[in-house]
Structure 1
Amino acid sequence: MKILVIQQKMIGDVLTSSILFEVLRHEYPKAQLDYLINDYTYPVVENNPFIDNFIFFTKKEEQIKHGLFVLAKKIKAQQYDVVIDVYSKLSSNIISLYSGAKIKISYYKLYTAWIYNENVKRKKKSKTNNLAITHRLKLLCPLYIDAEPLQPKIYLSKQEIKDSALFLTQNKLKLEFPVFMISVLGSTKNKTYPFAFMAHVVDTIVEEQPKAQLLFNYIPNQAEDAKTIFNLCKPKTKDQIYFNVFGKSLRQFLAITYHCDALIGNEGGAVNMAKAMKVKTFSIFSPWIDKASWSLFEEEKNIGVHLKDYYPEYYTKPEKQYKKEALQLYQLFKPELFSNQLKTFLKAL
């Protein structure tokens, strides 16, 4: 049997959807299990022992006029028995349609239902509150697979772990003292906690953990914004931020985060990656993101806070419908609202 799973775009989605392979491998130990993803997301699933082959949808193919159809033709030639379309957008609809697979599975949408043999309806609630996990596992129901929720995993090599520890010590960090990765910036402005509020959060970490060593997670084109947050911090806090120590690749970021006691900051892919390595997390959700879907495996070791937790009366419609109002809503989401939760989290480390 040959099975293809399609999950394009975001890193967090690609990591989360990788749980399907662990379940499928258990059910079909001899099957060929392949994963279609965007090439830049590969680092979060590299070395995954349950995946046989990766098919990459590159930027070059996206930019070429007929690139998608060339890719669809290549996939059809592989003669997959089953296609599981987790992405469920136009590009994956086209790939699924032309795949030639006998079984095509995706989420139910009125306008694409005709493409798939099996259309799975999403749940509105989950007993575990891990809707992102629940929805993906439901895609296996047409194959008569009923799996319990499981956590995504990232597979680092021993050499990567060793090299990242050496990198940190060479940059004068002491691994016997607490190390915190700070997700200071979100992927977009409407997913980024206001700079002054984030500086307050960073100051609180140092107040509660006087020996804390802080690393800022940002990419080169975010350096100016990251520096702005740094400059808003108190002098004592600045002394404990290793601003220029960061991963120069996604894989290096993962290896560095592995050595951290916790990741704290904006909810997003970095939080999901930290959880996948059993690193504790404290995440601040954007006001327009549905916490019920993405507060994965939340417990005393993984805390997520959302404006809706404190002002449920503001939400008279689904969170996604507040996307355009996110920046205004952020101003109501003052750090004092969750200060005690953050302090409790830090004391427990």
Structure 2
Amino acid sequence: MKILVIQQKMIGDVLTSSILFEALRQKYPNAHLDYLINTHTHPVVENNPFIDNFIFFTQIEENSKRKLFQFAKYIGTKNYDMVIDVYSKISSNIITLYSKAKTKISYYKPYSAFIYNHNIKRLSSTELDCGLAIVNRMQLLEPLNIEFKAIKPQIYLTDKELANSKLFLESHNISLKKPLYMISVLGSGATKTYPFEYMAQVIDQVAETTKGQILFNYIPNQEKDAKAIYDLCKPKTQNLIHFQVFGKSLREFLAITSHCNAIIGNEGGAINMAKALNVKTFAIFSPWIDKATWNIFEELGKNESVHLKDFKAELYSKKSEKELKPKANELYIAFKPHFFREKLNLFLEQTL
């Protein structure tokens, strides 16, 4: 049996959807399991023992309808028995349509329902600690009679990667015998980035409470913004920040993060990756994002998060993400660091 799982776009989505492979492998131990993803997301699922092969969806297919259809026809030559389309957008609809698979599963959408044998309606809430992102993905396996299991995403680092990252940190005068914190200083965009001044206050609190060594998570083209946040921190906090120490690749970032006591800051891919490395996390959610979907595997003292809605529920009165996103800036301004100062301090004490 050959099975294809499709999850394009974001790193966090690709990592979270990788849980399906563990469940599929348990059900079909001899099946050939392929994962169709965007090239840049591969590092978070590299070495996953449940995945046999990766198929990459590139910018070429992304930017050309002709190339997309050629790619879809290529998938049709692979003779898949089953396609599980987690992405569920136009491009993956087309790929699934051309796949020739007998069993096609995706989320229900009126315009694409005819393509799939099984159209699963997403749940809008759950009481399970694993979070909606996990629950809704596992729902896709129900037509295969695979019972729900709260599988946690995992990232698989090699011994060599761990050893090299340790040497790298030590070469920059960072002691692994002392507390070490990664700060997710920037989100994936302005609407997912806690205001710089507020973030500096959070970093000051981390420094004051832990006296720990601090790393910033950023990529070279974000250095200007990261430096702006650094400049807003107190001088004694700046003395604890190793600003120029960061991973040059995503795998390097993962290996460095694995040595940290915790990661703190903007909710997003970095937080989800840290969870998959079993590193403690404290996430600050963008005020327009639905926390219930992405606060996966919340656990007091281990994986915690805060959202403006926790403190100012009256601002939300039945408004959708689409309605809230244009107001992200004013909502962020209302999301004062002092709202969660005590909660963050209690969390930091658990990391020492």
TM range (shorter): over 0.9
1:6 is displaced (CA, Å) by 0.1
1:336 to 338, 343, 347: 338
Give, as a single letter, the amino acid of the residue that structure 2 aligns with 1:43: P
Name the TM-score, length of structure 1 as normaliser: 0.99
The whole-number CA distance in structure 2 between the counterparts of 1:266 and 1:245 is 19
Instruction: Give CA-to-partner distance per residue, 1:228-277, whole Å, 9 cap, x none.
Output: 00000000000000000000000100000000000000000000000000
* SS of structure 1 residue aligned to 2:214: strand
Overall identity of the aligned pairs, in % = 62
Matched, 1:348 2:343: no
| Counterpart for residue 99 of structure 1 | 99
* SS of structure 1 residue aligned to 2:188: coil
The whole-number CA distance in structure 2 between the counterparts of 1:67 and 1:170 is 46
The whole-number CA distance in structure 1 between the counterparts of 2:31 and 2:84 is 14
Matched, 1:135 2:136: yes
Give, as a single letter, the amino acid of the residue that structure 1 aligns with 2:196: F
Q: Is the 8 A contact 1:103 1:117 kept in 2?
A: yes
Q: Is the 8 A contact 1:23 1:147 kept in 2?
A: no
| Counterpart for residue 182 of structure 2 | 181
Equivalent residues, number = 348
Give, as a single letter, the amino acid of the residue that structure 1 aligns with 2:132: L
The whole-number CA distance in structure 1 between the counterparts of 2:148 and 2:268 is 25
| Counterpart for residue 325 of structure 1 | 327
| Counterpart for residue 76 of structure 1 | 76
**C-alpha spacing 1:106/1:65, structure 2 compared with 1 (3 Å):** closer
The whole-number CA distance in structure 2 between the counterparts of 1:110 and 1:180 is 46
1:61 is displaced (CA, Å) by 2.8
Instruction: Give CA-to-partner distance per residue, 1:25-72, whole Å, 9 cap, x none.
Output: 011000000000000000000000000010000113323441111111
- CA RMSD, aligned part only? 0.8
The whole-number CA distance in structure 1 between the counterparts of 2:227 and 2:284 is 20
**C-alpha spacing 1:60/1:319, structure 2 compared with 1 (3 Å):** closer
The whole-number CA distance in structure 2 between the counterparts of 1:127 and 1:194 is 31
The whole-number CA distance in structure 2 between the counterparts of 1:27 and 1:262 is 35
Instruction: Give CA-to-partner distance per residue, 1:76-113, whole Å, 9 cap, x none.
Output: 00010100000000100000111111010000011111
| Counterpart for residue 245 of structure 1 | 245
Instruction: Give CA-to-partner distance per residue, 1:290-324, whole Å, 9 cap, x none.
Output: 00000010111111100000111111213342001
1:169 is displaced (CA, Å) by 0.2
Matched, 1:150 2:143: no
Q: Is the 8 A contact 1:287 1:319 kept in 2?
A: no
| Counterpart for residue 162 of structure 1 | 163
* SS of structure 1 residue aligned to 2:238: helix
The whole-number CA distance in structure 1 between the counterparts of 2:296 and 2:320 is 19
Higher mean C-alpha displacement, 185-194 vs 68-77: 68-77
Give, as a single letter, the amino acid of the residue that structure 1 aligns with 2:108: Y
The whole-number CA distance in structure 2 between the counterparts of 1:63 and 1:117 is 29
Q: Is the 8 A contact 1:181 1:264 kept in 2?
A: yes
In structure 1, stretches of 5+ residues that fail to align are: none
Name the TM-score, length of structure 2 as normaliser: 0.98
| Counterpart for residue 2 of structure 1 | 2
Q: Is the 8 A contact 1:11 1:41 kept in 2?
A: yes
1:237-276 aligned at under 5 Å gives the runs: 237-276=237-276
List structure 1 segments (4+ residues) > 3 angstroms apart after TM superposition: none
The whole-number CA distance in structure 2 between the counterparts of 1:225 and 1:91 is 34
| Counterpart for residue 311 of structure 2 | 310
The whole-number CA distance in structure 1 between the counterparts of 2:57 and 2:15 is 16
Matched, 1:195 2:196: yes
1:46-57 aligned at under 5 Å gives the runs: 46-57=46-57
* SS of structure 1 residue aligned to 2:163: helix
The whole-number CA distance in structure 2 between the counterparts of 1:80 and 1:138 is 21
The whole-number CA distance in structure 1 between the counterparts of 2:339 and 2:92 is 41
1:216-255 aligned at under 5 Å gives the runs: 216-255=216-255
The whole-number CA distance in structure 1 between the counterparts of 2:199 and 2:67 is 41
